[in-house]
């Protein structure tokens, strides 16, 4: 039987660990930043942002949309592990641009149970980034909401484009 993809990953880890030395790092991110991004396989956050091991928290999901679970991670990131800035990254060609909330209805039809989560699909990338920035800025759980910026990553050029946020609403 040929090795599965997971077998290959485990083998790669053995080689990684051979050259690994304990960096002696603290769990608190050195650059005090949390990056929220889409799980897209074409997005190499550390390379694209010049980040090193230990620099930041990376919190990813489908779309890089700010869901309750992203807020949970950001809250822990800020309150327990000292981050202060939030960078949100969505990208061109995102799979969620092709989906609609019908996905959820079809799923419910198929399995006989409605998921508790929204698909969080979107048609307008910039609008979605702005909404994500607003969700972070208005969260009552976060300590630091003054340095929250949103970007679109172009998967064909590797460039980030900043999306102008809406004015900060009063908390
Ligand atoms: Zn995506």
For residue 132, the 8-state DSSP code is H
Is 85 within a domain?
Answer: yes
CATH number, domain containing residue 118: 3.40.1050.10
CA distance 33 to 160: 17
The neighbourhood of ligand 1, an ion, using CB within 5 A, equals: 38, 40, 94
> Does residue 105 belong to any structural domain of this protein?
yes
* Domain count within the chain: 1
Q: Tell me the CA–centroid distance for residue 61 and ligand 1, in Å.
A: 8
What region does 88 belong to: left with phi over 0, alpha with psi -120 to 50, or beta? beta
Residue 142 lies in a domain: yes
Kindly give the distance from the C-alpha atom of residue 170 to the centroid of ligand 1, in angstroms, as a whole number. Answer: 30
Find the domain containing 152 and state its range. Answer: 28-163
16 part of a folded domain: no
pLDDT at 169 over 60: no
Q: Is 15 within a domain?
A: no
Please report whether residue 17 resides in a domain. no
The first and second tokens of residue 29, run together, are: 């991110």
What's the whole-number mean pLDDT along residues 162-168?
Answer: 83
Q: How far is the CA of 67 from the centre of ligand 1 (A)?
A: 15
Between CA 85 and CA 63 the distance in angstroms is 20
* Distance between CA atoms of residues 94 and 64, nearest Å: 10
| Cα 148 to ligand 1 centre (Å) | 20
**Tens digits of per-residue pLDDT, 80-139?**
999 999 999 999 999 999 999 899 999 999 999 999 999 999 999 999 999 999 999 999
SS3 at position 146: coil
To the question of pTM greater than 0.85 for the whole model, the response is yes
Q: In the chain, pLDDT over 70 holds for what percent of residues?
A: 98
Token output for 108 = 């419910």
Residue 156 Cα, ligand 1 centroid: separation in angstroms? 13
Listed in order, strand segments (DSSP E) in the chain are: 33-38, 56-61, 85-91, 148-153, 160-163
Percentage helix, strand, coil, to 5, in the chain?
35, 15, 50
> pLDDT-based confidence at 166, cuts 50/70/90?
confident
Report yes or no on 170 lying in a domain: no
């Amino acid at each position: 039987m040929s090795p599965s993809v997971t077998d290959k990953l485990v083998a790669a880890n053995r080689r990684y660990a051979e050259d690994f030395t304990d960096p002696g790092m603290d769990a608190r991110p050195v650059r005090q930043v949390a990056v929220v991004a889409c799980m897209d396989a074409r997005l190499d956050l550390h390379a694209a942002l010049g980040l090193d091991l230990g620099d930041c928290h990376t919190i990813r999901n489908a779309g890089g949309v700010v869901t309750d679970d992203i807020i949970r991670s950001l809250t822990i990131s800020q309150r327990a592990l000292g981050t202060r800035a939030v960078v949100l990254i969505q990208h061109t060609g995102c799979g969620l641009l092709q989906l609609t909330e019908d996905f959820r209805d079809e799923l419910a039809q198929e399995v006989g149970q409605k998921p508790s989560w929204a698909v969080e699909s979107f048609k307008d990338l910039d609008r979605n980034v702005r909404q994500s920035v607003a969700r972070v800025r208005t969260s009552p759980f976060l300590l630091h909401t003054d340095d929250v910026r949103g970007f679109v990553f172009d998967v064909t050029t590797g460039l980030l484009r900043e999306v102008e946020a809406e004015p900060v609403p009063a908390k």
